[in-house]
Structure 1
């Protein structure tokens, strides 16, 4: 291990500024999850399944919007791409606390679509500012910074919701997120290298090959029998289909089996983290002291920060899949907690691997995808994580309502472990069936 890597990284002024701005921009939404849960459960007097449904709708919106937002950053630039988010954050989350549950679901979906894309923007910019082995340390630093925020955000959200008002808390989240968006627009972190010609990778060569295939395809199609291709018509249905197929393929030439594995890690991580999140709130709430939820989040996130510090100083690279599987197994013992203190202590082993999982996965995406498509790829990576979150929160909430708070942790760890094993099996079958060249 070489902890001096952190000192070297923080000496780079653009990276240091980016990490600070990223922390500020993440803070509002770090409190939003607990605020939404307690708003639905306490203020609206509904169960954890309903709270999980709202969380799921938000994350579905994020999953739908993230690739589109990432692509907009790639095509029109960061500043223009963030303007809709700044407006939506202020308007939607100032309105959502005052509406019925049905309208809350609608606003949560729209708010998710236009959520400030802090995660993908920061990770995309770090992928530009740091190269090679530096990326592991840079992404670890970002994960550590994120954990520091999540040590404070949920605790503050719980205090505001229980001691003041969840309505005031959600309104503050929206206005603060809008201010954070303006800060990102002002800072305008780089999302492309200053010399893009030096950023050409194997992915670019694949895109060129795909473009050649598109150009050649019509000629090949026309040589086929007319009754099968419709080539006798200027725009035969088969020709239109082929053009569409090649066009879609050309837009996703960056996507590969290796990238698919990373996205599976993101789904599993989102499922595991959201289920654990709901389980922590439900367990502490069941103990009769909801304001103590911050104690557990501090222990959980502090462990993640420590794990991130250690991982970022390592020279050896670890598989995101193996890290996620270990984290899933270590999450299940949280079901045996008897009070807030024991829950906080049992959250530490799993927390130690949280930041390393996310750092390893982000580093892998940055290595696999060319930077001219990295914004879109990071958007899909974020969508994969939020898809897992959308699945984990309501399912864990339903299990908690029917069985008990402890069931959320067993469900979270078991589901993430099954996903890892299924992905590894699918990858093994793919490699066996792939033709040898």
Structure 2
């Protein structure tokens, strides 16, 4: 059988109608945290309150995402998403108003938390729709669909932060925050309007064993640990690359190197989804983790920004296949009634790891120089490899029967 391709996926009835607005919305989601940072910084003139507000936003998102996803799984995307989007729009408007009114730092922190807690989890909802659309008779195409999702995430985090940085540099941080909210809310509302591809809510599933309602079990716990390590890798990489190029007298090269890494990931994610791989997903996960570990170890030996650029091409190429594999393994391990929650827990773990790494890598760089930060990225990648190896048996025995629709009793 020839490999599934992206064109055939997007030609599936209803697929493009939910994927494209979700893609637009996740660009807004990728912009929001950074836009809030520059919004507060432009008003206060200092980095400390900006960091506190954006930190409160990130923590609230990590805590709130699984709770919102639980409601989505129980009552459905089309019921939960519209009020959640309105709450997010109101929270962002409140924060912008507080900043405009020169509110105190504690009030700004309190204003940032609701904006984070209400961030729409569009990536998780889009992935859940692919599973709902394909799992019955086209399950072999799910890896391709999740590869497309990983490419969509890479696009969001390439375009979004670059747009915010450009608007902030031009002196329009408020416009950046409002644009981020408009994209998130607009894309989410269009997604919610696509009722035909929405997964069946758990409240409407007549055959839903009570014992299957928790996604925090078995293979998903392993995947949460892997996503935590990925978050540490991301958080440390951004700080370390910047510190390295500054130490070599080329501060302007940081954005270029990170862009090169993202573009490498875009290409690798696209190519990964174009073919059907013979190795089982857990084995692929172990191999890609080993490749990422090798690349991060090479970063400890580089002596110039050019050499670092070659390394980030390798490490950047490993990330989208990893994200696609996380989605494949998650879909195979949990009941469909808690799938959005499971995807959201992975995202929360990654966000938590990134937040921790941002602080720890700064300390490591101060103590050991840029290579201290790269040592943290290498430790995160090596931890992923060890986790993949230790959890290989568990990941190779997914509870697939839970993910399949059961018989409906009379």
TM-score (norm 1): 0.74
Which residue of structure 2 aligns with residue 348 of structure 1?
A: 313
Could you say if the C-alpha distance between residues 14 and 338 of structure 1 is closer, same or farther in structure 2, counting changes exceeding 3 Å? farther
CA distance in 2, matches of 1:91, 1:23: 23
CA distance in 1, matches of 2:223, 2:119: 23
Which residue of structure 2 aligns with residue 123 of structure 1?
A: 127
Which residue of structure 1 aligns with residue 79 of structure 2?
A: 80
CA displacement at 1:7 relative to structure 2: 3.0
Structure 1, unpaired ranges of 5+: 211-249, 432-437
CA displacement at 1:106 relative to structure 2: 2.9
Structure 2, unpaired ranges of 5+: 397-410
Alignment of 1:218-367 (within 5 A): 251-252=213-214, 254-281=215-242, 283=244, 293-312=254-273, 313-316=275-278, 317-319=280-282, 320-334=285-299, 342-367=307-332
CA displacement at 1:343 relative to structure 2: 4.3
Q: For the Cα contact (< 8 Å) 2:24–2:184, is it kept in 1?
A: no
Q: Deviations over 1:351-377 (max 9, x none)?
A: 111111110011111111121221222
**1:411 paired to 2:376:** yes
Deviates more, 1:54-63 or 1:296-305: 54-63
Alignment of 1:162-201 (within 5 A): 162-188=169-195, 190-192=197-199
TM-score (norm 2): 0.78
CA distance in 2, matches of 1:379, 1:321: 23
Q: Deviations over 1:232-273 (max 9, x none)?
A: xxxxxxxxxxxxxxxxxx742x54322211111121112212
Which residue of structure 1 aligns with residue 20 of structure 2?
A: 20
Which residue of structure 2 aligns with residue 45 of structure 1?
A: 46
Could you say if the C-alpha distance between residues 372 and 285 of structure 1 is closer, same or farther in structure 2, counting changes exceeding 3 Å? same
CA displacement at 1:119 relative to structure 2: 1.7
Q: For the Cα contact (< 8 Å) 2:281–2:328, is it kept in 1?
A: no
CA displacement at 1:193 relative to structure 2: 5.2
**Among residues 114, 118, 130, which one is paired with 1:110 in the alignment?**
114
**Among residues 140, 151, 155, which one is paired with 1:133 in the alignment?**
140
Could you say if the C-alpha distance between residues 79 and 276 of structure 1 is closer, same or farther in structure 2, counting changes exceeding 3 Å? same
CA displacement at 1:34 relative to structure 2: 4.4
Which residue of structure 1 aligns with residue 93 of structure 2?
A: 91
Structure of larger gyration radius: 1
Q: Deviations over 1:318-377 (max 9, x none)?
A: 323543353244235446666665544331101111111110011111111121221222
Which residue of structure 2 aligns with residue 227 of structure 1?
A: none
Could you say if the C-alpha distance between residues 180 and 35 of structure 1 is closer, same or farther in structure 2, counting changes exceeding 3 Å? same
Q: For the Cα contact (< 8 Å) 1:136–1:363, is it kept in 2?
A: yes
Could you say if the C-alpha distance between residues 419 and 357 of structure 1 is closer, same or farther in structure 2, counting changes exceeding 3 Å? closer
Q: Deviations over 1:27-65 (max 9, x none)?
A: 123234544566677864337xx8766554333212211
CA displacement at 1:280 relative to structure 2: 4.0
Which residue of structure 2 aligns with residue 215 of structure 1?
A: none
RMSD: 3.7
Which residue of structure 1 aligns with residue 31 of structure 2?
A: 31
Could you say if the C-alpha distance between residues 342 and 127 of structure 1 is closer, same or farther in structure 2, counting changes exceeding 3 Å? same
Report how many residues are paired. Answer: 382
